[in-house]
Amino acid sequence: MITTPKKLNFKIAFLKEMQVSVLVFLLSFTACQSPEQNQADTVAAEQTPTTSLADSLAQKERRPAPEFHRIPTDMAQERVYVCDDANADVFHTQYDCELLAACKTVKKNVTIIRAVEDYGRYNCDICSKDLAVIFDDQQVIQKR
């Protein structure tokens, strides 16, 4: 296949334009990265392990995840709230619950199954007392 100089010049010009476009794209992408953000993340990471011993002792320890639960199928898709805190171990059925209002971190709205199985949460004694039966192994009806 023989190419004419005109076609060859067009191909070279096209490749040069593509190289310039890619170069401009890469430069604009790297220019958008903020070095101040990286420094702020580093400073925050360095300050995190410096919590005092008194603060860590003052926080209540989290209970282990429930070993037994039985959630009825009609209740499986109900939504509950969890506080994404290292010490929180309950789920809430009401967003205005006073324990949930004291949450200083992220509040998540998840299904009750996910709250129990994935987050290892128990029911709140204030807003969801009626759901304590899902953790009671005496309530299970044995199949015969």
The DSSP result for 14-83, as a single string, is HHHHHHHHHHHHHHHHHHT--HHHHHHHHHHHHHGGG--HHHHHHSPPPPPPPS-----GGGTT-EEEEE
pLDDT for residue 36: 56
What six digits make up the tokens of 89?
Answer: 């171990």
pLDDT for residue 56: 39
Are residues 80 and 25 both part of a single domain? no
User: What is the Cα–Cα distance from 42 to 36, expressed in whole angstroms?
Assistant: 10
Tell if the pTM clears 0.95, that is, is over it.
Answer: no
Residue 97, in any domain of the structure: yes
pLDDT for residue 114: 93
Are residues 79 and 133 both part of a single domain? yes
Per-residue pLDDT of the chain (144 residues; tens, 9 = 90+): 566 666 667 677 777 777 777 767 766 766 666 555 555 555 454 554 444 333 433 346 778 878 888 888 888 899 999 998 888 899 999 999 999 999 999 999 999 999 999 999 999 999 999 888 888 878 754 443
Please answer whether residues 112 and 74 qualify as being in contact, where contact means their C-beta atoms are separated by less than 8 angstroms. Answer: no
Residues 6+ positions from 66 with CB-CB distance below 8 Å: 116, 120, 121, 122, 135
Q: Which domain, by its residues, includes 5? A: 1-33
Residue 14, in any domain of the structure: yes
Residue 16, in any domain of the structure: yes
pLDDT for residue 41: 52
How many distinct structural domains can be found in the chain?
2
Are residues 82 and 133 both part of a single domain? yes
